[in-house]
Amino acid sequence: AQSVAQPEDQVNVAEGNPLTVKCTYSVSGNPYLFWYVQYPNRGLQFLLKYITGDNLVKGSYGFEAEFNKSQTSFHLKKPSALVSDSALYFCAVRDRDFNKFYFGSGTKLNVKP
Amino acid sequence: DAGVTQSPTHLIKTRGQQVTLRCSPKSGHDTVSWYQQALGQGPQFIFQYYEEEERQRGNFPDRFSGHQFPNYSSELNVNALLLGDSALYLCASSRTYRGTEAFFGQGTRLTVV
């Protein structure tokens, strides 16, 4: 079975400070990992993905994520948070054979001025 | 490019009724997946359509059914609505069922009263 866990329901950070949103995964074989962001009453927007290659993945809006195979983690990071980054963030793992995603429960990011 | 479009955006139905939600995939995409996102939770995979057939199904009852048309658009039907069916229903499209990315629509908010 494939799954992801987001251990924090909410993350609070001050504008300008670095942010980290945590994700751990459980899959058989090599994982396909994704981060999506959701703004209120909106669908999911793709941020970045890890399929293979460099463990540090760069994505949209200045976000990046670090794949760590030994810790089975895929944490989302940004060097300097913006108030506009406040949203709900979902980590997901894609099924190996089909375009089907298993999502975590989400982490609400609050960036305060 | 219009992206993935869903209709309607909001819907209120009475328990026991039936509902149909619609999705048009992103241009060039032929695979459509449906997800249910209950309040405060991550999206849960309902099913996936490719070449007008249901290819994958999540853990949802038979009250949930779908269809894909020759133009790749799709419908999600839910019969005998329950209060617990209240959720945001998301449609995602991809370039074939093996595509590595999924693009999501803005969702349909279904409220069952």
- A7 min Cα distance to partner chain B (Å): 13
Does A101 touch chain B if contact means CB atoms closer than 8 Å? yes
Cβ of A100 within 8 Å of Cβ of B48? The answer is yes
Does A55 touch chain B if contact means CB atoms closer than 8 Å? no
- Model confidence at B97: pLDDT above 70: no
Q: How far, in Å, are A74, B9, B40 from residue A104 at the CA level?
A: 12, 24, 11
Query: pLDDT of B31-79, one tens digit each?
Result: 999 999 999 899 999 999 999 999 999 999 999 999 999 999 999 999 9
- Model confidence at B99: pLDDT above 90: no
Between positions 51 and 90 of B, the ones with CB within 8 A of A are 55-56, 58, 90
Query: pLDDT of A22-74, one tens digit each?
Result: 999 998 888 899 999 999 878 899 999 998 889 999 999 999 999 999 999 99
Q: Is the peptide bond before B8 cis (omega within 30 degrees of 0)?
A: yes
B55 contacts in chain A (CB < 8 Å): 98
DSSP codes, A71-102: TTEEEEEESS--GGG-EEEEEEEE-SSSS-EE
**Is the model more confident about A1 or about A110?**
A110
How, if at all, do strands A107-112 and A87-94 pair? antiparallel
Residues making up chain A, counted from first to last: 113
Cβ of A45 within 8 Å of Cβ of B104? The answer is yes
Residue A98: band (very low, low, confident or very high) from pLDDT cuts 50, 70, 90 = confident
Give the rounded percent of residues in chain B with a pLDDT score beyond 70. 96
Distance CA B37, CA A52 (A): 29
Q: Residues A72-97: what's their mean pLDDT?
A: 95
In the prediction, which pLDDT does A2 show? 86
**Dihedral (Cα; A56, A107, A2, B49), 10-degree rounding:** -100
Q: How far, in Å, are A34, A36, A50, A69, B90 from residue A65 at the CA level?
A: 9, 12, 8, 13, 25
